[in-house]
Amino acid sequence: MTLVLHDTLAREKRPFEPADPGRVTLYVCGPTVYNYAHIGNARPAVVFDLLFRVLRRLYGEDQVVYARNITDVDDKINQAAIDQDVEIGAITDKFTAIYHQDMDALGVLRPTLEPRATAHIGEMLVLIGKLIEGGSAYAAEGHVLFDTQSFADYGKLSGRSLDDMIAGARVEVAPYKRHPADFVLWKPSKAGEPVWDSPWGAGRPGWHIECSAMVGKTLGDTIDIHGGGHDLIFPHHENEIAQSRCADHTPVYARYWVHNGFLTMDAEKMSKSLGNVKLVHELIKRAPGEALRWALLSGHYRAPLDWTDELIAQSRKSLDRLYGALKRALDVDVDLGGEPPPTVLDALLDDLNTPRAMAELFALAKTLETSEDASERQAAKSALLGAGRLLGFLQQDPIAWFEGGADAGLKAKVEALLVERFAARQAKDWATADRIRDELNALNVVVMDNAEGATWRLKDGETK
């Protein structure tokens, strides 16, 4: 059983072998906390959550260390604090808490470590000092810049050469740069921005050095897997490699580079700057978080994924199908510790092939529903639940799934109406029974009668 991952640097799929199977290290660039996360931002969180789960399955829960940082030093954070006339910490604390709630709703496990940039300024200064000492960085006009010409492998990850970068550079390259591609490690703070002392003048770190410092501090000089969205390959990850390798004198910074594709809307990348965003915070009011997770994993993580209302509706239907099979099999006894079957594991081990893993879930549901053999049904249910647990699906009570999205007040009201309706039907009072059905309809509730009584659910895409 070998996990195969597509490595951006090698440009091919490679069998994954951790440097130390007793401590497998994964780092993913996390959110900049100044605003609500959109569903595009959630894609890396969900994709790498799945990778984290698969690694834990392979190497053991305590053997995998997953660090996902919080970027809490950023121009946009400063601007938000100025606009709202509050301390920077008030913005970053608020949006860190909201990010956690949103990701919890999508079934994303908390990473092992969640380093914050502001808590690692000391480590950043040490790294910058090492780079200057080693001749890979220079101070100029209150800035410290990385000297890209000092690092022969610069451009290897993104497949760009320094010459291309001269051609691509904008005209107004800062005069103190030795090469247009040289990037900032430290810079003076503008008025009102946070400021820290440094040997090169008071100021603040550049963005890239934050991740290098947090990776080094939390996981080590060489890590197993570094992940993030495709947009981070250049310049962010290219620069992380340059800084960390030069400061630590290591031939390898991350042994595998894994990048997720973009979430798009009408073929355009979802992004705050384009304004075409759907916030997780809003989406979870209209659809179960589990259905949004399903939608995010319904395509292969490296391919672009187009976000549409139909995708959400389709995802909900897929989960209805699986929870429906589980609901009709409530009497099938299984042990809760069911293992994911090899078919599902094989799909995930093949560079996280989630579409194939999901197809296997439907095959298990079909066996569960159609097999006449009790032990086969039992095995199918156990496998379905075990596979669901690995993928982060199917862990709710199936009845609760169909009632999903309803709050406690609505639930109580619906239950009371169903009791009344049952009594009316017993008494053959059809007029009252019909009136209650209309009332339930007005609450967006669909009633499904069956031999044991009635169950209910909210209509698609609606709550309350």
Tell me the C-alpha distance between 63 and 58, whole Å.
9
Q: Which residues of 434-450 are buried (b: 16+ CB within 10 A; e: fewer)?
A: eebbeebeebbbebeee
Of 138 and 256, the one with the shorter C-beta distance to ligand AMP is: 256
Given 51, 145, 165, 270, the residue binding ligand AMP (CB under 6 A):
270
366's tokens: 């079909």
**Regarding beta strands 4-7 and 183-187, do their DSSP bridges make them parallel or antiparallel, or are they unpaired?**
unpaired
Number of C-beta neighbours around residue 178 at 10 A:
13
Tell me the C-alpha distance between 279 and 38, whole Å.
4
111 binds ligand AMP (CB under 6 A): no
Tell me the C-alpha distance between 57 and 67, whole Å.
18
Helix, strand, or coil (residue 27): strand
Residue 211 interacts with which of ligand AMP, Zn ion, none, CB < 5 to 8 Å by class? Zn ion
213 binds Zn ion (CB under 5 A): no
Of 72 and 360, the one with the shorter C-beta distance to ligand AMP is: 72
Smallest separation (angstroms) from Zn ion to the CB of 72: 13
211 binds Zn ion (CB under 5 A): yes
181 binds ligand AMP (CB under 6 A): no
- Show contacts with ligand AMP in window 16-35 (CB under 6 A): 29, 31-32
Tell me the C-alpha distance between 185 and 177, whole Å.
12
| E-only strand ranges, 69-182 | 137-140, 143-146
Smallest separation (angstroms) from ligand AMP to the CB of 41: 4
**Regarding beta strands 268-269 and 263-265, do their DSSP bridges make them parallel or antiparallel, or are they unpaired?**
antiparallel
Of 70 and 132, the one with the shorter C-beta distance to ligand AMP is: 70
- Show contacts with ligand AMP in window 211-230 (CB under 6 A): 228-229
Given 76, 94, 116, 269, the residue binding ligand AMP (CB under 6 A):
269
Tell me the C-alpha distance between 106 and 349, whole Å.
22
Smallest separation (angstroms) from ligand AMP to the CB of 101: 16
Smallest separation (angstroms) from ligand AMP to the CB of 291: 18
Q: What is the CA radius of gyration of the chain?
A: 26
271 binds ligand AMP (CB under 6 A): yes
Residue 41 interacts with which of Zn ion, ligand AMP, none, CB < 5 to 8 Å by class? ligand AMP
Residues lying near ligand AMP in the complex (CB under 6 A): 29, 31-32, 40-41, 43-44, 228-229, 231-232, 260, 262-263, 269-271
What does the binding site for Zn ion look like in residue numbers (CB under 5 A)?
29, 211
